[in-house]
Structure 1
Amino acid sequence: MPSNIAEGSAKDSQKDFLRYLQISLGSSFELETHLLLCIDLELVTIENTKNHLDTVERLQKRISSLIKYVKTQI
């Protein structure tokens, strides 16, 4: 996720940056899904994974907010 944001910020246009932010947001949802699958498969416990899920949710909100802001700049 951070690599996509960094790469997008180096692009020539806000439109390109927006695309990379959207990819980053998609990656965050993939990560969330992987964590939930690990819980379902009993590879980890919900107690050990809850903090990670909370962090991913906060990142999703922040990336979404940045996407909204960048859209206003286009």
Structure 2
Amino acid sequence: MVDYRNYTVWKKAHALVLDIYKTTRNLPSEEKFNLISQMNRAALSVPTNIVEGCGRETQKEFLRFLHISSGSAFELEYLILVCRDLKFIDIETSEELMRQIAEIKRMLFSLIQKIKSDL
């Protein structure tokens, strides 16, 4: 069992959650049960799955949760694209969020590769 707070990728994913929540506060209220909910859940899923994986007994289980976390990052990336195309968020905000997600995806990929090589 590893302390998830020691992972830089978790710290960055947690910061992303905070940024997504700030961003979704400004989306149209009619999107409350659609885009807002979906974006918040996808964002929360990234660090939450890292945390859950850290609590598992084996590295193989941890790896499974890192893959889920990565999938949620890809989902969130698309939801931001939709919001930008619908003009719910501006280009600068979307680019900054996409930059954060790209970094998290790279870090997750590297961590997954490292764990795989250790198995």
Question: TM-score interval w.r.t. the shorter chain?
Answer: over 0.9
Q: Matched residues, percent identical?
A: 39
- Give unmatched runs, 5+ long, in structure 1: none
Question: Comparing both chains, which one has the higher relative contact order based on Cα–Cα distances under 8 Å and sequence gaps of 6 or more?
Answer: 1
**In 2: Cα distance, 1:67 partner to 1:48 partner:** 28
**In 1: Cα distance, 2:66 partner to 2:93 partner:** 28
Q: Give the superposition deviation at 1:2.
A: 0.9
**In 1: Cα distance, 2:81 partner to 2:56 partner:** 33
TM superposition outliers: structure 1 runs of 4+ over 2 Å: none
**In 2: Cα distance, 1:48 partner to 1:54 partner:** 10
Q: Counterpart in 1 of 2:73?
A: 28
Give the TM-score taking structure 1 as reference length.
0.95
CA RMSD of the aligned region, Å?
0.7
Does 2:100 align with 1:61? no
- Give unmatched runs, 5+ long, in structure 2: 1-45
Does 2:60 align with 1:15? yes
Aligned length: 74
